[in-house]
Amino acid sequence: MGGGSSPSTAGRSRWRETLTAWSFALPFLLLFLVFMAGPILIAMVTSFTDLRVTDIRNPFAIEFIGLDNYLAVLGDPRFQKAAANTAVFVFVGVPLTMALGLAAAVGLNQGIVKFRTFFRVGFYLPVVTSIVAIAVVWRLLLGTEVGLINSTLSIFGIDGPGWISDERYALWSMIAMAAWRGLGFLMVIFLAGLQTIPRDLYEAAEVDGASAWQRFKGITIPLLRPTLLFGAVMTGIGYVQFFEEAYVMTEGGPLNSTLSMVLYAYRQFGFGNYGYTAATAFVLFVAVATLTIVQFRLFRDETR
């Protein structure tokens, strides 16, 4: 700033800078307000009303019913079942997917030299394939009477169970499918993380006589912690929203054993209970937020 500028010109240029900054931020801000914050606020208001599909021609003729929708959602045994299923899906699915992803990444980083690209593509392919296509193919695979798995088992005289038609196995079949589908994404992320770990650390440890397991536990895991956190958060958010697999393969059945929270909300929306659905969505939002906070605690960098 020039020495001759008076306080008023300084103020004006400050003002202009602010204006420029806002004008740069404005396009995003407008889009955000109109398409994100606005709808979220409306959904929030809706969740406290008894808005139904039959009210849409006259949306102001609705009653505010306070927390009734939230109490009804939380008190519905079917929602509790859906929440329990989703919890199993997340708490079994996320660690399983991460373990498989990490195993694949470590394997590809160290052991497997030949066909490395082949394996990378093979593991990553399910990630870029439409989940609906995957679910349709897996349904053929897991079919009770004509499924590939049970047909194979029957060669050995084993009468395979209904992998997705028996309520004892259906959710586990879906966890297996989700883990198979999700491991490719984590593998790529973890592989990138592994490559940032300096080689000399391993060499130094080897000189000190550390076993492979000790090196993995003492070097790989601690240094990979931020990457693991990222993987856990992303996978967790995805798995809480578990929907397509159940929607395509079982419609939440048999006996609601694969009913997820999102599927529950989706059905309520289909029934036209918009206020109730909005409340369900906010419960889901709280679940995702809580899970993420817990994960941040769990993977917190202890050296800091």
Partner 1 sequence: MRTRQRLGAVLLTLGMVAVLAACGRGDDDNGDDNGDGTAASQAPEVDTGSASGEIDVWAMGAEGEALGAFAESFMDEFPDVTVNVTPVPWDAAHDRIVNAMAGGEVPDVSMVGTTWMGEFATLGGLDPTPANIDGAQFFEGAWGTTVVDGTSYAVPWYVETRLLYYRTDIGEGAEAPATWDDLKALAASMQEAGAEYGISLQPGGTGAWQTYMPFFWQAGGEIMGEDGSFTLDGEPCVEALTYYDSFFEEGLTPAAAEDVPVEGRFANGEIASFISGPWMMSIVEDAGTDPEAYTVAHQPTEEAGTSFVGGSNLAVLADSDNKDAAWAFIEYLSRPDVQAAWYEEVSALPAVQAAWDEGVLSSDERLSEFGSQLEDAKAPPSIASWEQVAAEIDSVIEQVTVGDMAPEEGCTVMQEAATGIGTGQ
Binding site residues, partner 1, CB under 8 A: 45, 49, 52-58, 60-64, 139, 143-147, 162, 165-167, 251, 253-256, 267, 270-273
Q: What residue type is 80 in one-letter code?
A: Q
Structural contact between residues 65 and 50, judged by C-beta atoms closer than 8 angstroms: yes
Crossing angle between the packed helical segments 170-195 and 131-142, to the nearest 10 degrees: 130
Separation of alpha carbons 180 and 100, rounded Å: 8
107 vs 272, which CB is nearer to partner 1?
Answer: 272
Rounded to 5°, the CA angle 150-152-155 comes to 110
Structural contact between residues 278 and 69, judged by C-beta atoms closer than 8 angstroms: yes
274 vs 282, which CB is nearer to partner 1?
Answer: 274
Q: How many CB atoms lie within 10 A of CB 89?
A: 23
**Min dist. Cβ of residue 209 to partner 1 (A):** 56
Structural contact between residues 160 and 150, judged by C-beta atoms closer than 8 angstroms: yes
Separation of alpha carbons 183 and 180, rounded Å: 6
Which DSSP string do the residues of 143-193 spell out, in sequence order?
-TTT-HHHHHHHHTT-----TTTSTTTHHHHHHHHHHHHHHHHHHHHHHHH
**Min dist. Cβ of residue 9 to partner 1 (A):** 23
15 vs 296, which CB is nearer to partner 1?
Answer: 15
Q: How many CB atoms lie within 10 A of CB 53?
A: 12
57 vs 114, which CB is nearer to partner 1?
Answer: 57
86 vs 165, which CB is nearer to partner 1?
Answer: 165
**Min dist. Cβ of residue 165 to partner 1 (A):** 5
109 vs 144, which CB is nearer to partner 1?
Answer: 144
**Min dist. Cβ of residue 108 to partner 1 (A):** 36
* Pair of tokens at residue 47: 């969740």
**Min dist. Cβ of residue 72 to partner 1 (A):** 9
Crossing angle between the packed helical segments 131-142 and 148-155, to the nearest 10 degrees: 30
**Min dist. Cβ of residue 159 to partner 1 (A):** 14
**Min dist. Cβ of residue 132 to partner 1 (A):** 13
102 vs 265, which CB is nearer to partner 1?
Answer: 265
Number of helices and strands in the chain (H, E): 14, 0
